[in-house]
Amino acid sequence: MKITLIYDNEVYKEGLVSDWGFSCLVEVENVPKILFDTGANGSILLSNMKKLNIDPAIIDEIFISHSHWDHTGGLSDFLKIKPVNVYIPASCSEPGGAKEVIKVREPFKIHENIFSTGELKGIEQSLIVKTEKGLVIIAGCSHPGVKDILKRASELGKPYAIIGGLHGFNEFEVVKDLEIICPTHCTQFKSKIKTLYPKKYIDGGVGKVIEI
């Protein structure tokens, strides 16, 4: 599988634009391409996509982690270009312009090897991809807590990686068994995580591509 960071607080590849928010493209073999979150600003989202040679036409679905503006701000602009199915947590307002809106409350199988954790603590869902190496978890902000996200994911197998915003996460021992940790966006303690797990840590930033 391949994950391309399109929107983040920092830039990894020169020429792209950083901004407060998060979005990434999730590509898994034999599965529709999924845009995870849409950042805060549609113009920045679409501009970064163009510079990364990501044609909106290749994206089949959008997965929204939670309703906060820095994860949904680019949604309406994208849907004007291509209406697609949108998976949202049940607490999120339905967007206009979608092909179909799927509200998610409980753990949910989206496609073969692609799952939602379900809406945890009434605010946020995370995306889970089952790979031969283990589970890859993509999180928007981890508002429900990394521990609870990993616990829910563990019902499907062994977590292998977590990528995305970890907010104020400081229960550092919770991720000790993961092989990849890529904290992005709102993560407050990136340097501490990197110090504790230097061999597992991957820097994020707009333009970063992670292949698993």
What tens-digit pLDDT sequence spans the chain (212 residues)? Answer: 999 999 999 999 999 999 999 999 999 999 999 999 999 999 999 999 999 999 999 999 999 999 999 999 999 999 999 999 999 999 999 999 999 999 999 999 999 999 999 999 999 999 999 999 999 999 999 999 999 999 999 999 999 999 999 999 999 999 999 999 999 999 999 999 999 999 999 999 999 999 99
CATH of the domain at 11: 3.60.15.10
DSSP string, 170-204: --GGGGTT-SEEEEETT-S-HHHHHHH-TTTB---
Residue of 71, 66, 78, 63 lying closest to 32 (CA atoms): 63
Locate 132 and state its tokens.
Answer: 């031969």
Is residue 79 within 8 Å of 95, Cβ to Cβ? Answer: yes
Phi/psi of residue 92, nearest 5 degrees: -90, 140
- How many structural domains are present in the chain? 1
Which residue spans within the chain are E strands per DSSP?
2-7, 23-27, 34-36, 61-63, 85-89, 100-104, 108-111, 114-116, 127-131, 134-139, 159-165, 180-184, 209-211
Is residue 102 within 8 Å of 83, Cβ to Cβ? Answer: no
Query: What is the structure's pLDDT at 204?
Result: 98
The reported pTM is 0.98
The boundaries of the domain holding residue 11 are 2-211
Amino acid at 142: S
